[in-house]
Amino acid sequence: MVTYVFIASAALAVIFGVVAIAHRNPVANVLSLVVVFFALSAIYAVLGMDFLAAIQLIVYSGAILVLFLFVVMLLNIRAVERFGSGRPWQAFLGAVTAIILACLVVLGISELHPAKGSALPGSDKGTAYAIGHALVTTHLFAFELISLLLLAALVGALVLARKESR
Amino acid sequence: MNPGALIPIPYTWVLVLSAVLFAIGTVGVLLRRNGIAIFLALELMLNSVNLAFAAFALRFAAEGGGAAAALNGQIFIFFIIAVAAAEAAVGLALFIALYRLKETIDVDRFNILRW
């Protein structure tokens, strides 16, 4: 079962990875990359890394790619084609892909059940506990530096994207 | 399949997927001229590297590195995702600034530093 989930997720990731770089519409690029990251999240779940699967969904698909989408729509509004323009099979394919992806994530996560005896650290409580513990003990300095880096990136992005008011 | 494995699939499959995604991202960076599309391909490459980290972490854990090896790999991926978020914010702000300057994000139009 795990093998099939992995193969299906990998195939989806490769196919939509190609779409993400080959399609001419930037919005289609971004949304295809969302599909790729969903598939990667399923693969992380198959590998037994539940924390990373959640982070991949929340941070990458939820935050970073939405940021990309904002910028794409901010910059070239005229180049964005309207959706649902006479291609009903596209909507159908999209729905089928979404359902398959949801099934893959659920199947991958269901394999994480502790009764199956995963040997990952802290697998009885999930890997989030072990990772969180290591972040505030062994890797505390790097963890604090990352927060500083994110603050610097926040300020830098504000300064760069600010409108010059002269 | 692979003795002492933590997962029922061979690690090489994960590494092959990582390599394929990295190649796709490289092609995207090299061929696209839209700045944001290049950036998206870059994100794909970062994610393929994360996948390789995950595969190697599980492999080393299975080959006697212990539980800490698998954990360190995941912490590496966590930091890479954080750095990628910072990089995306700054990069997209740069593209907004460039768009204000030239009304385009075609990277071929930004060639003042070429010579």
B52-71 confidence digits (pLDDT tens): 999 888 888 877 767 777 78
- The C-alpha atoms of residue B100 and residue A20 are separated, in whole angstroms, by 26
* Average pLDDT over every residue of B80-91: 92
Tell me if B82 is assigned to some domain: yes
Under an 8 A CB cutoff, do B71 and A17 touch? no
* Average pLDDT over every residue of B81-98: 91
Residue B108 reports pLDDT greater than 60: yes
Residue B78 pLDDT grade (very low, low, confident, very high; cuts 50, 70, 90): very high
Which structure tokens are listed for B33? 């001229």
Residue A80 pLDDT grade (very low, low, confident, very high; cuts 50, 70, 90): very low
Residue (of A13, A65, A64) closest to A41 by Cα position = A13
Q: What is the CATH number for B27?
A: 1.10.287.3510
Domain range summary for chain A, segments of one domain joined by +:
2-112, 121-166
3-class SS of residue A82: coil
Tell me if B26 is assigned to some domain: yes
pLDDT value at position A124?
Answer: 57
pLDDT value at position A165?
Answer: 67
* Average pLDDT over every residue of A64-72: 90
Residue B1 pLDDT grade (very low, low, confident, very high; cuts 50, 70, 90): very low
* Average pLDDT over every residue of B81-89: 92
Query: Considering its fold, how many domains does chain B have in total?
Result: 1
pLDDT value at position A120?
Answer: 54
Name beta bridge partners: B34: B106
Residue B77 reports pLDDT greater than 50: yes
Tell me if B6 is assigned to some domain: no
- Return the minimum-mean-pLDDT range out of A13-22, A34-43, A98-107: A98-107
CA gyration radius, chain B: 18
- Return the minimum-mean-pLDDT range out of A56-60, B47-51, B61-65, B90-94: B61-65
- Nearest CB partner across the interface for B34, out of A26, A59, A121: A26
Q: Tell me, what amino acid is at A149? A: L
Contacts of A18 in chain B (CB under 8 A): 24
* Average pLDDT over every residue of B16-31: 88
* Stronger pLDDT, A92 or B40, i.e. the higher one: B40
pLDDT value at position A131?
Answer: 86
Tell me if B94 is assigned to some domain: yes
Tell me if B5 is assigned to some domain: no
List own/partner pairs for A129-136 with CB under 8 A and 24 or more apart. A130/B67, A130/B71, A131/A51, A131/B71, A131/B74, A131/B75, A131/B78, A134/B71, A134/B72, A134/B75, A135/B75, A135/B78
List own/partner pairs for A154-163 with CB under 8 A and 24 or more apart. A154/B89, A156/B89, A156/B90, A156/B93, A157/B89, A157/B90, A157/B92, A157/B93, A158/B93, A159/B93, A160/B90, A160/B93, A160/B94, A160/B96, A160/B97, A161/B92, A161/B93, A161/B96, A161/B97, A163/B100
User: B110 CA to chain A: closest CA distance, Å?
Assistant: 16
- The C-alpha atoms of residue B5 and residue A110 are separated, in whole angstroms, by 19
Residue A148 reports pLDDT greater than 90: yes
- Alpha-carbon torsion (B95, B97, B102, B108), positive or negative: negative
- Nearest CB partner across the interface for B75, out of A29, A71, A135: A135
CA distances from A164 to A50, A159, B100 (A): 44, 10, 10
Instruction: Please provide residue A122's backbone torsions phi and psi, each rounded to the nearest 5 degrees.
Output: 65, 25
Which structure tokens are listed for B93? 């702000």
Contacts of A20 in chain B (CB under 8 A): 28, 40-41, 44
pLDDT value at position A103?
Answer: 81
DSSP state, residue A77? T
- Could you read off the pLDDT of A83-139 as tens digits, one per residue? 444 567 777 887 787 788 778 777 776 665 444 444 555 455 667 888 888 889 988
3-class SS of residue A153: helix
Partner B contacted by A77 (CB < 8 A): no
CA gyration radius, chain A: 19
- The C-alpha atoms of residue B76 and residue A51 are separated, in whole angstroms, by 13
Residue B41 reports pLDDT greater than 50: yes
Quote the domain boundaries for residue B93.
11-114
Residue B79 reports pLDDT greater than 90: yes
User: Which CATH number does the domain A2-112 belong to among 2.40.10.10, 1.10.645.10, 3.30.930.10, 1.20.120.1200?
Assistant: 1.20.120.1200
